[in-house]
Amino acid sequence: MGGRLSLLKRRKQKYLFESKQALKVSLILLIAGVFLGQPGNLIVIAIPNLEDGFRLGFPPLITMLGGILLGPWWGLALGGTLDFVSVFLWHGGENYIFSFGLLVMLRGFLAGFIFNHLFSEFNWKSLITSILVPYIVTTAIGFPLALNYVFGTPIWENVYTRLTFQALVTPIYILIAYFIVKGIKEGRKVRELNEQLEKLLKVDELTGLSTRRHFNEFLGKMVALSHRQGRPLSVIMADFDEFKKINDSFGHLVGDRVLAAAGEIFKSEIRYEDMAGRMGGEEFAIVLPGIDISGANEVAERIREKIKDLKLDPLVNPISLTLGVAQLKAGETASELLDSADKALYQGKEQGKDVVVKDYKKL
């Protein structure tokens, strides 16, 4: 049972490139493979007792790299396409042999399957196996059988010659593939770390709302846009009433649950173009582009009522929220707009809390 679970877990391993990038990468590999498959780009290796020697080319490596980087089915498609295009372009369509094309497709598929589904991580063992096994199966076994079937070439002599050739070639393939895959994986790790860092800077982990920094950046842009277009822009500031009592009476874990639930309520009550942010502690803010103070007041009232209806164990008394609403005035800055909403909020605190107060200044 444990072995089955382990295999299933490996099958879920992400490929080095996502599906959106796979087509672009496969096209790059295809172009490189066709170019390197040109007869003038091949390297001739002389082997003792062999009159013609062997030509070293990189299309086999590119096919296996396709499977390793993109997955077995992409490796299969890349191998078949690369072989077909290369033969027709460099040798003429009359020289295309279907059985050879199938072996090239198998090579790409096996490399992708072994690397992505039989191994859970990238290391020398996984890469050597992913290159060596498909290359031996197709080049040392499959091609001699195909050559014997098509041209009557002796099988065992061809197998011995190809194994000798592979002993020279596969270390080169493995070294090249190792540094390519290693470079791609390290680049991907850096990219993922940057994405995680960017997300941490933009999203509050507890509530799922924007961080203060991201919110202020967005608000600044919306204020400039509102002044330029002459459209209304409103802001809501919200703060829990007597939140310290919740933490003191029930602990910070319960307090965190309240904040997380509030985050879900905020997100459910705003539009896609709006933004809600956690400004710090139990204080929140919402920016509503294109909404005047009356519309913002309606949003604030809905949020206040939903917070009051919130039921969370072991809380007994209703949770309340006081909110201040302000609309952008002519020539007003983002910080001044926030300050207006904040003053309205604290006016509500002085009035007895659990209320929504509009900005007392004239528009």
In eight-state DSSP terms, residue 280 is E
pLDDT at position 97 is 87
From-to residues of CATH 1.10.1760.20 in the chain: 2-200
pLDDT at position 21 is 83
pLDDT at position 90 is 84
pLDDT at position 293 is 94
**Strand runs labelled E in the chain:** 43-45, 54-56, 233-240, 275-280, 283-289, 321-327, 356-358
From-to residues of CATH 3.30.70.270 in the chain: 212-358
Give every CB contact of residue 108 below 8 A, 6+ residues apart in sequence: 63, 64, 66, 67, 72, 74, 75, 76, 77, 78, 79, 80, 134
Instruction: Give CA torsion, residues 339, 341, 346, 352, to 10 deg.
Output: 180
36-44 long-range contacts (CB < 8 A, ≥24 apart) are 36/62, 37/82, 37/86, 37/90, 38/90, 39/90
CATH number of the 2-200 domain: 1.10.1760.20
pLDDT means per 10 residues, the chain with 363 residues, are: 41 64 88 82 56 66 92 93 89 85 94 91 91 90 86 83 80 90 81 68 87 91 93 95 88 91 93 92 94 95 93 85 94 93 92 86 56
pLDDT at position 6 is 41
Q: Is 350 a catalytic residue?
A: no
Give every CB contact of residue 328 below 8 A, 6+ residues apart in sequence: 223, 226, 227, 232, 233, 234, 235, 337
Against a cut of 0.75, is the pTM above it? no
Q: Cα(106)–Cα(121) distance, rounded to whole angstroms? A: 22
pLDDT at position 286 is 95
Rounded alpha-carbon distances, angstroms, from residue 333 to 295, 339, 340: 21, 10, 11
Of 195, 217, 282, 336, the active-site residue reads 282
Domain 212-358 adopts which CATH fold? Alpha-Beta Plaits (3.30.70)
- CA 205 to chain CA centroid, nearest Å: 19
pLDDT at position 56 is 63
Residue whose pair of structure tokens reads 């846009």 in the numeric block: 225
Q: Tally Cβ neighbours within 10 Å of residue 166.
A: 17
